[in-house]
Structure 1
Amino acid sequence: MDTAVLSLVLIISMLLMLACGLWVALSLVGVALIGMLLAGNEQIGLLFATSTWGASTGWSLTALPLFIWMGEILFRTRLSEDLFKGLSPWLNALPGQLLHVNVLSCGIFAAVSGSSAATAATIGRMTLPELKARGYSDRMAVGTLAGSGTLGLLIPPSIILIVYGVAAEVSISRLFIAGALPGLLLIVLFMGYTMFWSLLNSDQLPARERTRIPLASRIKALRQLLPIVLLIAFVLGSIYGGLTTPTEAAALGVLGALFLAMATGALSLESFQQSLLGGVKSSCMIGLILVGAHFLTISMGFLGIPRALAEWIGMLSLSPLELLIYLTVLFVILGCFLDGISVVVLTTAVVLPMVQQAGIDLLWFGIYIVLVVEMSQITPPVGFNLFVIQALTGKDILYVARAALPFFLLILLAVLLITWFPEIATYLPTTMTQR
C-alpha cells in the first residue's frame, strides 16, 4: 500500500478514536496496532512490551513525576495569595497597575509548576475575584490570565520540555536554560501590551489604585515573596550551576516544597495525600501518552512513514522558514483539540526527521515548539486553556477567546522574534556549555 494512503488511514483512525472520546494514550496505541497489522508484523505483543519498557524506564523521566508533585504540593499552599500581596504594592505605579499581578504571578508560579493549566487555574482563583472587586476591566483581567497562564509550558522547570527532551534526545538541562530568555521575553511583551492598553483605556482603571504606597510598606510586602523566590533559586540555580541533574533538582524541589508547605501551615495529612494522589494521576496520564507515542513511533517505522515524509520534504526543497510556517499551522490546529504534551508527543516522531533534514537545531526547535503549543492553548475559539479559564469565570467561551486574542498575537510575535534572532533561545545554553 502507498505510504500516502497508509498515512491517511492512520490519521483518519486517530481522528475517529479521539472523536469517540477515547483517551489520547489509548488512541495512540490503537493507531499503532492498526499500523502493525497493515505492515503485516506478527510480533505485536513483543514489540509493545519492549517499547513500553523503553518508553517508561529512562532515567531522565524520573524528573517528571517529581516536578509534578512539587507543583501539586505548592498548589495547596497560600502561594497565590502571597504572590498577590507581595507584588501588588510594587505595581501600583505602572500603567495597568494590578493587571500586571496576573503576568508576574503566573511567571513566578510557572517556575514551580511546569503546567499551563495548573498555573492559570491557581493564579486565576486568587487574582480574578480580587481584580473584579477593585473595579478592573473583566475582559483585560481574563486576557492577561489567559496569556500569562501559558508561561507554565515554557519557564523551567517545564514538564513539556522534559517530555520533548526525552523524545528528541536533547539535554533537559540545556532545554531548561534555553527556555529562560524566551520566557522573560513573553513576560516583557505581556507587560508592555498591558501598559499600552492601560494608557489608551485609563477610564477602565480604578482611581483608588493610583495612591502611592510608602517604600517601607513595599519592602515589607516583599517578605511574602521570599519563600517561593528562594525555592525557585534553589531548584533552578542548582541545575544552571551544574551542581545537580534535573532529576536531583526535582527531588530537592519536592523537599523544599514540603518544607514551605509545613512552614505556612498548609501541610496536613489530607493535603499531603491529595498532593500525592494528584501527582500520581498526572504522571500516569503523561506516562501512558509516552508509552502510546513510543509504540506508534515503532509502528510508523515499520510502515516507513517518517522516512517517506522526510524524503518528500526534501523533494519539495522547502526552506527551513517555509517548513516552520507549515509546522506552526499544524501545531496550532492540533492545539485546538489536544493539550500541549499530547501535541508534542503525537508529532515528534514524524516531525523530527523533517527538522533534522532541514538542518534546524533541535535545541532551538524545542523552544519553538513550546512557544507554538503555548499559542495553540489559547487559540480562539477552542484552545485548551480557554476552557480552564471559562470554568473559573463562568464567562462564555467566545468572550474568553476574544479577551485572549491579543496575547495569542503576542506569542506569535515571540515565535517570529526567536526565528529571526535564534540566539534568544540558544545564547545561554551555548555560553554555559562553553564554560
Structure 2
Amino acid sequence: MTVATLSIILFVLLFAFLGSGLWVALSLLGVGMAAMALFTDAPLGLVMATTIWGNGNSWALAALPLFVWMGEILFRSRLSEDMFTGLSPWMNRLPGRLLHVNIFGCGIFAAVSGSSAATAATIGKLSIPELSKRGYPEKMVIGTLAGSATLGLLIPPSIILIVYGVATEQSIARLFVAGIVPGILLVTLFVGYVAIWGMLNRDLLPDEGERFPLREKLRRARRLLPVMGLIAGVIGSIYAGIASPTDAAAVGVVLALVLSWASGSLNWQSFSEGLMGAMVTSCMIAFILAGASFLTVAMGFTGIPRLLAEWIGSLQLSTYTLLAALTVFFVIMGCFLDGISVVVLTTSVIMPMVQKVGIDPLWFGIFVVIVVEMSQITPPVGFNLFVLQSLTGRNILTVARAALPFFLLMLLALAIIVAVPQVVTFLPEAM
C-alpha cells in the first residue's frame, strides 16, 4: 500500500470520527490505534501505554493548568472594570477614541489569561454595553474585540504556545519570549487601523467631550498597577532566567489570588468556580495532548511523516511557497477545529516538512499561532465569533464581517514576520 493511499485512509477515518461528534482526543486515539493495528506489527497496547504516560509525565506541562487557573481567577475578579477605568481617560482624545480601550484592554488581559475566548468574554462583557451606550458604531466595537481578543493566543503566557512547546519539544520559555514582539506588532497594527478609521469617519464617533487633567489620569491609571505588576512578575522572571515557566505560573496563581482578594472579589464561590473551570479546561487539553502524542508515535511507526517529508523535499518547493500552502491549510483546519486541536493534530506530519526546508521550529511556532489566531475569527467555527455572538445577539456572519479587517491585519503581520524573521527570533537569541 502506497503512502498516499495510507494517508487518505487515515485522513478520511479522522474526519469520519470528528464528523460523528466524537471528542477530538478520542478521534486522535482511534486513528492512531487503526494505523498501528492495520499497518504495523508493533504491540499496540504497550506502545499506547508508554507513550501516553511518557508524554503526560512532563514537568513543562505543569505550567499549563497553573496559567489556566490564573486566568480563571482574574476572569472572576474586578480586573476588567479596573482596566476600563484606568485606560479610558488616556484614550478619549485619540483618533478612534474609546475603541482603543478594546485593543489595549485585550492586550493586557491576554498577558494574564493566555486564552482568546476568556479575553473576548471578559473585555466584551464590560466594553460592549459601555461603548454601545456612548453611541460607538457596533461594527467597530465587535471588530476591535474580535481581532484583539486573539492576542490571548500569542502574548505570553499563551496556553497554545505551551501546547506547541510540549508537542514539538521546544523551550516554552523561549517561545514565550518569541511571542512578545509579534504581539506588540499586532497591537500596533490594530491601533493604527482604528486611528486611521477614526480620522476618516469622525462623524460616526460620539463626542467624548470630557477632558481629564493629568492628575486625574494618573489617579485612575493606578488601578492598572496591580495587573501590570502581575504581568511584569510572571513574564519578567521568565525572561530574566530567574524562574522557569512552571515556577512563574505558580507565582502568578498566588499573585492572582492576592489581587482578587484585595479587590474584594475573592470568595468561596469564585474560588471554587475558578478552580473547577481550570480543572475542566486543563483536563480537556491534557486529554487532547495524550491522543496527539499517541497519534504522533503511530505515524512514526507507519513512516508517513518521513515519506511525506521526502515527497515535499522532492518537489523542491521554496520556503515561501510551503509557508503559503501551510497558511491556507491551517486556516481551513481552524474553520472546523479549535486552535489547540489544530496544533496537536498537525505537528507530527508538518514538522518533518518544516525542518526539511530549514525553517526554525521556534519561529514556526509563532507563525502557527498567528495563523490559528486568524482562524479564531473565521466562520463557521471561529471560537471568538461564537463568544461575541452570545454577547451581542448578532448572527455569526455579521460578527465575521466586522472582524474581517482584523483578519487582514493579521495576514499583514504574518507577511512581516516571514519577510523579517528577526521580529520573532531577536529576543530569544538575546536570552
**TM superposition score normalised by structure 1:** 0.98
1:176 is aligned to 2:194: no
Which amino acid letter does the alignment assign opposite residue 303 of structure 1? T
Return the offset for 1:290. Answer: 0.3
- CA deviations 1:128-175 (Å, max 9, x no partner) are 111001100000000000000000000001011111111111111111
Partner residue, 1:317: 316
Partner residue, 1:161: 161
- Which range is displaced more, 165-174 or 154-163? 165-174
Q: Which runs of 4+ in 1 moved over 4 A?
A: none
CA distance in structure 2 between the aligned counterparts of 1:57 and 1:320, rounded to whole angstroms: 35
CA distance in structure 2 between the aligned counterparts of 1:385 and 1:275, rounded to whole angstroms: 21
Return the offset for 1:383. Answer: 2.0
Which amino acid letter does the alignment assign opposite residue 331 of structure 1? F
CA distance in structure 1 between the aligned counterparts of 2:223 and 2:181, rounded to whole angstroms: 25
Which amino acid letter does the alignment assign opposite residue 330 of structure 2? F
CA distance in structure 2 between the aligned counterparts of 1:384 and 1:333, rounded to whole angstroms: 14
Say what the alpha-carbon RMSD is for the aligned residues. 0.9
The within-5 A match list for 1:65-214 is 65-207=65-207, 209-214=208-213
- CA deviations 1:354-377 (Å, max 9, x no partner) are 011100011111111101110111
Return the offset for 1:198. Answer: 1.0
Partner residue, 1:10: 10
The within-5 A match list for 1:154-303 is 154-207=154-207, 209-303=208-302
The answer as to whether partners of 2:377 and 2:384 remain within 8 angstroms in 1 is yes
Match of 1:267, SS state, is coil
CA distance in structure 1 between the aligned counterparts of 2:13 and 2:385, rounded to whole angstroms: 27
CA distance in structure 2 between the aligned counterparts of 1:429 and 1:150, rounded to whole angstroms: 22
State the aligned residue count.
Answer: 431
- Structure 2: stretches of 5+ with no match in the other structure: none
Return the offset for 1:380. Answer: 4.1
Partner residue, 2:402: 403
Return the offset for 1:270. Answer: 1.2
The answer as to whether partners of 1:88 and 1:101 remain within 8 angstroms in 2 is yes
CA distance in structure 2 between the aligned counterparts of 1:42 and 1:199, rounded to whole angstroms: 65
The answer as to whether partners of 1:336 and 1:384 remain within 8 angstroms in 2 is no
CA distance in structure 2 between the aligned counterparts of 1:118 and 1:288, rounded to whole angstroms: 20
The answer as to whether partners of 1:380 and 1:405 remain within 8 angstroms in 2 is no
CA distance in structure 1 between the aligned counterparts of 2:64 and 2:217, rounded to whole angstroms: 36
CA distance in structure 2 between the aligned counterparts of 1:288 and 1:279, rounded to whole angstroms: 14
Which amino acid letter does the alignment assign opposite residue 97 of structure 2? Q
Partner residue, 1:51: 51
Which amino acid letter does the alignment assign opposite residue 412 of structure 1? L
- Structure 1: stretches of 5+ with no match in the other structure: none
Which amino acid letter does the alignment assign opposite residue 195 of structure 1? A
The answer as to whether partners of 2:177 and 2:427 remain within 8 angstroms in 1 is yes
The answer as to whether partners of 1:83 and 1:224 remain within 8 angstroms in 2 is yes
1:428 is aligned to 2:424: no
The answer as to whether partners of 1:381 and 1:401 remain within 8 angstroms in 2 is no
The answer as to whether partners of 1:116 and 1:149 remain within 8 angstroms in 2 is yes
Which amino acid letter does the alignment assign opposite residue 59 of structure 1? W
The answer as to whether partners of 1:113 and 1:152 remain within 8 angstroms in 2 is yes
Judged with a 3 Å threshold, the aligned counterparts in structure 2 of structure 1 residues 162 and 151 are, in CA distance, closer, same or farther, namely same
- CA deviations 1:240-273 (Å, max 9, x no partner) are 1110000000000000001011101111111111
CA distance in structure 2 between the aligned counterparts of 1:392 and 1:170, rounded to whole angstroms: 37
Return the offset for 1:42. Answer: 5.6
The answer as to whether partners of 2:334 and 2:375 remain within 8 angstroms in 1 is yes
Which amino acid letter does the alignment assign opposite residue 170 of structure 2? V
